[in-house]
Amino acid sequence: MNRSDTHQVAELLRTTYRDVEPSTDLVEAIRAMADSPTALAQQDPLRAADSPRNNKRTWAPLSVAAAVAVVAVGAGIFTITADREEPLPPVQAPNAVPRSVATTTVTVVETASVIGDVGDLRDVLTGLGYFCDEPFVNEELPSAAPTRVICRDVPGEPVAGDLYVMAEFGYSKLDLKNVQLSLGDTAGPHYDGSQLVYSKTQGWDDGWVITLVPGVSDSGADKVDTEPEVVRAAALRIQQATGGAIFPG
Amino acid sequence: MGEELLTLLPSLMGLAWALTGSRADSEELVQSAVASAIPRWERIDSPRQYLRRTMINLHRDSLRRRLIVAEDLQPSIDQGLHQRVQEDHGERVSSRIDVDAALARLPAMTRTVLILRFVEDLTSTQIGRTLGQPPGTIRRIIHQGVKALRQDSRLFLDPDTTIPESGSF
């Protein structure tokens, strides 16, 4: 394919799609929305005063999470919940035998302006000093959009003990605001994402939960490779780096 | 805000139409994106970029919903084309319909990438950042997309022109 081919296709697309005149109806609708932003804000589920989400938002920022609610649920399972009335079920690794898992769950108030997709999150994590793989593309989705990125705290091939952050993006009504982070170590099972996808009860559908899961070890059950404090510290770093956009304070 | 939004509308409509293949769907997409942006307007640094990304995300979501309910996409595309024949009476109508149809035959990601590259004039790196793909992947998608369109006999009179495998963008 030569430049002439590219030029012809480019010209065709530009001619066809650049600057399509909107209908009068659309112009009027946009003008009306712009003239009444308050009405839209009230309809915005993120802001509506009567939003069920807001009504139950009683959570505290992660930075003081330890002071809010640390619930030890047998077998070494720790859960910090924010706006849930019921304790969240622990996230289990695939094919997991009983393991010790520390889970930190926080509510994201708004990520859209900072985190638009996996690439953005990758940038954030890179800025934090993580070394990120290329985003994973799920070919089964129609858009073949990247939905996952894994970042480690040291460059190169993962070795046991490395911390990593894995982010999963979902596709819901709120679209790519869905993000779930998993923090663990590479000695543990490499999450294939399924355990996060299955965690719909943790907010997959409403897209407002980030779950940090420290790694669990293949080397033996009941072994916690990453202490909850490490998870909290990492989350705090992300909070600070994003100006609270992910974990608003 | 209002005037700025209205100024952006034609370019947003172009992108939306290219993504959805119909005026009705594109106007709905633009309106949804604007409705999402207005409550946050004061905090949006680049409205055009924000709205562009929002539209792409909303469109992806729409595609996924269609997949979930196992709808056949083709009838909706055909319906959209038929609707446009009735809507548009300009000289460009047949050309637009041909291009819409050609784009509709491409994978959604390819369609999006081509529009961002050639209509929005983004670089491969910028597209990669928008879609979360490495630039190399974007260049490959552009190459394949251009090749597919170039070989579409309904768009070009000489589609059989030899197209080597390599290209640069």
Q: For residue B165, tell me if it sits in a domain.
A: no
Q: Is B110 on the interface with A (CB under 8 A)?
A: no
Please tell me if residue B129 touches chain A, with a CB cutoff of 8 Å: yes
Residue A222, token pair as written in the block: 């009941």
The pLDDT score that the predictor gives to residue A205 is 32
| Helix, strand, coil in percent for chain A, rounding step 5 | 30, 20, 50
Q: Averaged over B7-13, what is the pLDDT?
A: 90
What is the CA B123 to chain-centroid distance, rounded?
16
Tokens 């304790």: give the residue: A87
Is B168 a domain residue?
A: no
Highest mean pLDDT among A116-125, A227-236, B79-88: A116-125
Range of the domain at B29: 1-93
Q: Which of B49, B133, B144 to mutate to test the interface with A (most CBs of A within 10 A)?
A: B133
Query: Which tokens is B157 given?
Result: 């009179």
Contact of A26 with chain B, judged by CB distance below 8 Å, is answered with yes
Q: Same structural domain for residues B79 and B121?
A: no
CATH of the domain at B130: 1.10.10.10
Choosing from B57, B72, B93, the residue where a domain stops is: B93
Domain boundary among B42, B64, B93: B93
Phi, psi of B76 (to 5 degrees): -70, -35
pLDDT in tens, B81-100: 434 434 443 434 446 777 88
Interface confidence, given as ipTM, is 0.73
Number of domains making up chain B? 2
Domain ranges, ordered by start, for chain A: 3-43, 52-241
- Both B82 and B123 in one domain: the answer is no
Residues A17, B18: C-beta atoms closer than 8 Å: yes
C-beta separation of A148 from A176 below 8 A: no
**Percent of chain A, pLDDT > 70?**
15
User: Are residue B5 and residue B30 in the same domain, yes or no?
Assistant: yes
B63 vs A66, more confident: B63
In a domain, B149, yes or no: yes
Q: Which segments of A36-137 does DSSP mark as H helices, in order?
A: 37-43, 52-55, 65-68, 118-127
pLDDT at B116 over 70: yes
**Looking at residue B47, which CATH number applies to its domain?**
1.10.1740
Over residues B108-128, mean pLDDT: 86
Residue B39: the pLDDT is 77
pLDDT at A16 over 50: yes
